[in-house]
């Protein structure tokens, strides 16, 4: 099942990882738009994702992913909704479903998610929670988008910050432990 035409607002590391995962999963690049304000970043994304549409502002769309810094998430949600998006997935940390849903029009369903950094290599985990306006199809759509880069678990919003702390920071701590073990193992031995 295809996720359909989709607009990503923000072409940073996580937004690009989701685009890459979707293309790897068989989505057509021609159905993907990335809104990125940095012309240098747009040029890099154009090289990485031939066939993907790259623009500097939000245009008409049916579905969107918010992949910007948290401070801009509500405004982007409002703009996606105004542009026609009927479903929006936000990966902006710490921005509640209520805040996002309040920014959107009544016809836009909002899903909040927190993927972790292993998503950058297609091995991530994401907790998701949906607004009351979401249908089962909206949640399934969000699962498909995030499932392209790892596993997806639906959790109550009251637990999403805990999921973020564990799955978001957990891999970094494991990498630190692994690096320390490597350093201890090669003590006195050149790498």
190, exposed or middle or buried, with CB in 10 Å at 0-12, 13-18, 19+? exposed
Nearest to 28 by CA among 7, 2, 48: 2
Q: What ranges in the chain are assigned the alpha helix state H?
A: 13-24, 39-48, 70-82, 97-103, 136-147, 157-163, 169-185
Q: 125 Cβ partners below 8 Å, 6+ apart?
A: 115, 116, 118, 119, 150, 151, 152, 153, 167
pLDDT by residue (tens digit) across 40-90?
999 999 999 999 999 999 999 999 999 999 999 999 999 999 999 999 999
> Six-digit token pair at 38?
């940095």
Digit-coded pLDDT (tens) for 140-181: 999 999 999 999 999 999 988 887 777 777 777 777 888 888
Instruction: Assess contact for 92 and 73: CB atoms under 8 A.
Output: yes
Q: How far apart are CA 83 and CA 166, in angstroms?
A: 35
Domains of the chain are 6-185 (3.40.50.720)
Calpha distance 150→140 (Å, rounded): 14
Mean pLDDT, all residues of the chain: 92
End-to-end CA gap in the chain: 47
Which residue's structure tokens are 């009544």? 106
pLDDT for position 11: 97
pLDDT at 191 exceeding the cut of 60: no
Q: What is the mean pLDDT of residues 131-135?
A: 95
């Amino acid at each position: 099942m295809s996720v359909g035409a989709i607009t990503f607002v923000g072409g940073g590391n996580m937004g690009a990882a989701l685009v890459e995962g979707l293309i790897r999963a068989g989505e057509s690049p021609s159905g993907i738009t990335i809104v990125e304000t940095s012309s240098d970043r747009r040029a890099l994304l154009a090289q990485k994702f031939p066939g993907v549409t790259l623009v500097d502002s939000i245009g008409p769309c049916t579905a969107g992913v918010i992949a910007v810094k948290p401070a801009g998430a509500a405004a982007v949600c409002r703009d996606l909704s105004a542009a026609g998006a009927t479903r929006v997935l936000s990966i902006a940390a710490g921005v509640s479903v209520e805040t996002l849903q309040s920014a959107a029009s009544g016809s836009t369903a909002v899903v909040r998610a927190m993927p972790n950094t292993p998503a950058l290599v297609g091995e991530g985990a994401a907790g998701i929670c949906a607004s009351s306006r979401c249908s089962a199809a909206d949640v399934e759509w969000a699962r498909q988008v995030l499932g392209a880069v790892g596993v997806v678990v639906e959790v109550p919003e009251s637990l999403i910050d805990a999921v973020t702390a564990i799955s978001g920071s957990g891999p970094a701590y494991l990498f630190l432990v692994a690096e320390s073990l490597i350093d201890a193992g090669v003590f006195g031995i050149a790498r």
